[in-house]
Structure 1
Amino acid sequence: MSSQNKSVSMAGPATADPQSDDSRAVLQVERRDFTQLVPENRPRVQRMRGFDECYTDIVDYIVRCTHRIWDERDVGLIYTHYTHNCVAYTTLGTMYDRETHIRDTIQRLVEMPDRRGMAQQVIWRGNDVDGFYTSHMTHGMGRHTEFGAMGKPTGRTFVTRTVAECMILENKIYKEWIVRDNMAQLVQLGIEPHAYAQAIAQAKFARGEEVFELSENRRLLGQYPPEAEADVSIAHTDTEAQLLRWLHHIYNKRLFGKIREIYASNCQWHGPLMRELLGPAAVLQQTMRLVALMPDCAFVPQHVCSVVSEEGGEKIALRWTLDGHHFGYGPLGAPTGYKLSVMGVTHFHIIDGKIVDEWVVYDELSMLVQLKLAALQAAK
């Protein structure tokens, strides 16, 4: 089915009042098949001033345009869906212009020609006057059949998780954060991570890129303990504020026992390397596993938004960073003491005051690249 429908019946022209939109009418991903997410004859249920006629709400927009660009191979739609100076922050580097987006997309499509990105969730906030923010989680799956950045094709299949967070106004994405679990893909394809990370680090080093060292990450102010209360100024709802308080206690105050209080006894945890775990004990172990790698880290929430879920409760998307140093043992090898910075996105499902599902995405490959690059800097 082509999603480039031009005969969709639309509501009247948008007005400047963003408050009359009914967010409950906006599509949710989890319970719908693909054809329901990119409908052919659905009336526009949300004002979309400046958006192409085929988009009926913001979830339809982000799912449909991603499909058109990546699955239908209409890469040139990036010209009408991204600003010329769109900045995209990824775990392995930053893209500063639209042409780089296009080149990167073509290269990825050629290397993994049967790759498909399956939308799993879209959590969003905003309107067509102030702009929209979307947090779009996908499962990318396919087979490595062509030469490319990963070298000789292995013929192996893979599935990996990605979250793309976009700021959008009048049909164009003008800022994007892409968190892709590249390490999961490498492992499944049988590519040795250290050698691959070393090659990326050497290319960055040759371009003059450096790991920027900070002596203070502000988790501890002087000789004081971590701040007693979380900064909840970015929250829009009481549930978002409560989540920020919980995470501050867990990550910054190191009160890991809090996990037993706030996670449901039957919670599910979906993490990097496509790990699928059950129960608060597993969540506690995986949380401590990350902090143990960089035990001086500071957890800083960057953006939060939420939607009321058709499945009950609320779903919340949180983009965050961890900054610290590689002082601990773990999958990256023996401690090096080098600076580490992690960008991640987590989707939470909260029902009756308990976290019942958590999808956390960050990239261990990007962490390994940082360590290799720091070692090259130290040796020069």
Structure 2
Amino acid sequence: MRRQDTADDSYPAFLREVAETLWTRRRLDAGLRELCHPQLLHRQALAMGYGPEALRADALELLATLPDLAAHTEDVMHCGGVRTGSLGAQRLLLQGTHAGGGVFGAASGKRLRFRMMSEVYAKDRRISEIWAVRDTGAILRQLGCDGPDWARQRARLPVGGDGPFRPALDQPGPYTGGGNGSQWGMAFAALLERIMAAGFSEIPAQYDPAARMAYPGGVLAEGPAGAERFWFALRAALPDARFVIHHRIGAETRLMPPRAALRWSLTGRHLGWGAFGAPTGAEVHVMGLSHAEFGPDGLRREWTLYDEAAVWMQIHGGVALPDAAAPMPEVMAAQ
């Protein structure tokens, strides 16, 4: 008879420690090698990377331009166990001063706030797979940069590798799970599947009238109308794209509301007007991560993130921008 695995209740603390090691203590040498498997798969929306070196390069790029960067873990939800390893969905709020030149241009001295969301799989305290999305759009908006133009220039860099993450670049890893069987994860997954199947009437039915949402670009929204604007614009831009939920976690934790975390993707052609301006026909892959909290009146808080810059790179990489680029929404600092 197969022995039942035991949940690793210390895994959220481990991921908080990883964030401290990487972003606060900046232990990018031996500390990073101790935490990461040599064959780490680092699926970051802007690029596919391998080994601890990929995670180090990503951190160095950000720390060079934001030398006082501080990261705070807002939440961690996890599944799995001691025997098979655990996967945690982590949400970070990062703050720093744009005091160094680098990937975001010359230092401006502006204070920046943005989020990063990730799913991290580890066994025996060695990380072997990461799916990560950084809110590059929020950084660019706060710096007054044009997102599509920045993405086009980055796509033309000679050190850009194979470009943004997409299925053709993916490699199989040790984690093959789909999450846990919590009703909250299943409910959140079912809600997004209905929304992305054009069932937008589900939003006023399932969202709390006073719901608060945080979306890409540091944009904050309130109530069902705010959620509808975001999801409608995304689906309208990619009307025939295939929506897939790859992983779901539900959590009921003492002193916390019921919560859920999803990893999803949207893959297809940019055929419609919506979140990304005039249709271009470009093939696009969107890696998305969503967290939610639930209350007596439905979904009360939502955090959804995809990297707008990674999408713009796929749409406009190496080609001239169309005359009618999508206007960038008014930035609102992450809260």
Q: Give TM-score scaled by structure 1 length.
A: 0.75
Q: Compute the displacement of 1:282 (Å).
A: 1.5
Q: What is the CA–CA distance in structure 2 between the aligned matches of 1:213 and 1:132, rounded to whole Å?
A: 23
RMSD: 2.5
Equivalent pairs: percent with the same residue? 23
Q: What is the match of residue 315 of structure 2? A: 371
One-letter amino acid of the structure 1 residue matched with residue 42 of structure 2: A
Q: What is the match of residue 87 of structure 1? A: 41
Q: What is the match of residue 222 of structure 2? A: 278
Q: What is the match of residue 96 of structure 1? A: 50
Contact 2:216–2:304, Cα closer than 8 Å, also in 1: yes
Q: What is the CA–CA distance in structure 2 between the aligned matches of 1:210 and 1:66, rounded to whole Å?
A: 23
| Alignment pair present for 1:243 and 2:215 | no
Higher mean C-alpha displacement, 186-195 vs 359-368: 186-195
Q: What is the CA–CA distance in structure 1 between the aligned matches of 2:101 and 2:191, rounded to whole Å?
A: 45
Post-superposition CA distance 1:43-68 (Å, at most 9, x none): xxxxxxxxxxxxxx111111112112
Contact 2:99–2:108, Cα closer than 8 Å, also in 1: yes
Q: 2:14 aligns with which of 50, 56, 61?
A: 61
Relative to 1, partners in 2 of residues 1:235 and 1:168: Cα closer, same or farther, differing over 3 Å?
closer
Higher mean C-alpha displacement, 348-357 vs 60-69: 348-357
Q: What is the match of residue 186 of structure 1? A: 140
For these two proteins, the number of residue pairs brought into alignment is 308
Q: What is the CA–CA distance in structure 2 between the aligned matches of 1:197 and 1:374, rounded to whole Å?
A: 9
Q: What is the match of residue 201 of structure 1? A: 155
Q: What is the CA–CA distance in structure 1 between the aligned matches of 2:187 and 2:319, rounded to whole Å?
A: 40
Q: What is the CA–CA distance in structure 2 between the aligned matches of 1:281 and 1:151, rounded to whole Å?
A: 36
Contact 1:205–1:373, Cα closer than 8 Å, also in 2: no
Q: Compute the displacement of 1:127 (Å).
A: 1.6
Post-superposition CA distance 1:202-241 (Å, at most 9, x none): 1369856699899xxxxxxxxxxxxxxxxxx765123322
Post-superposition CA distance 1:74-116 (Å, at most 9, x none): 2121100000110111111111122232233233222211111
One-letter amino acid of the structure 1 residue matched with residue 133 of structure 2: V
Q: Compute the displacement of 1:360 (Å).
A: 0.5
Q: What is the match of residue 3 of structure 1? A: none
Relative to 1, partners in 2 of residues 1:123 and 1:260: Cα closer, same or farther, differing over 3 Å?
same
Q: What is the CA–CA distance in structure 1 between the aligned matches of 2:196 and 2:146, rounded to whole Å?
A: 31
Q: What is the match of residue 48 of structure 1? A: none
Q: Which has the higher contact order (CA 8 A, sep 6+)?
A: 2
The SS at the match of 1:273 is: coil
| Alignment pair present for 1:360 and 2:299 | no
Q: Which runs of 5+ in 2 are unaligned?
A: 169-177, 321-335
Relative to 1, partners in 2 of residues 1:235 and 1:353: Cα closer, same or farther, differing over 3 Å?
farther
One-letter amino acid of the structure 2 residue matched with residue 93 of structure 1: A
Q: Compute the displacement of 1:309 (Å).
A: 3.5
Relative to 1, partners in 2 of residues 1:143 and 1:211: Cα closer, same or farther, differing over 3 Å?
closer
One-letter amino acid of the structure 2 residue matched with residue 184 of structure 1: A
Q: Which runs of 5+ in 1 are unaligned?
A: 1-15, 27-56, 215-232
Post-superposition CA distance 1:107-156 (Å, at most 9, x none): 32222111111111111112221101111101111111112222211211
Q: What is the match of residue 118 of structure 1? A: 72
Relative to 1, partners in 2 of residues 1:115 and 1:208: Cα closer, same or farther, differing over 3 Å?
closer
Q: What is the CA–CA distance in structure 1 between the aligned matches of 2:92 and 2:257, rounded to whole Å?
A: 21
Relative to 1, partners in 2 of residues 1:213 and 1:179: Cα closer, same or farther, differing over 3 Å?
closer
The SS at the match of 1:75 is: coil
Q: Compute the displacement of 1:322 (Å).
A: 0.8
Q: What does residue range 120-139 of structure 1 map to in structure 2 within 5 Å?
A: 120-139=74-93
Q: Give TM-score scaled by structure 2 length.
A: 0.84
| Alignment pair present for 1:146 and 2:116 | no
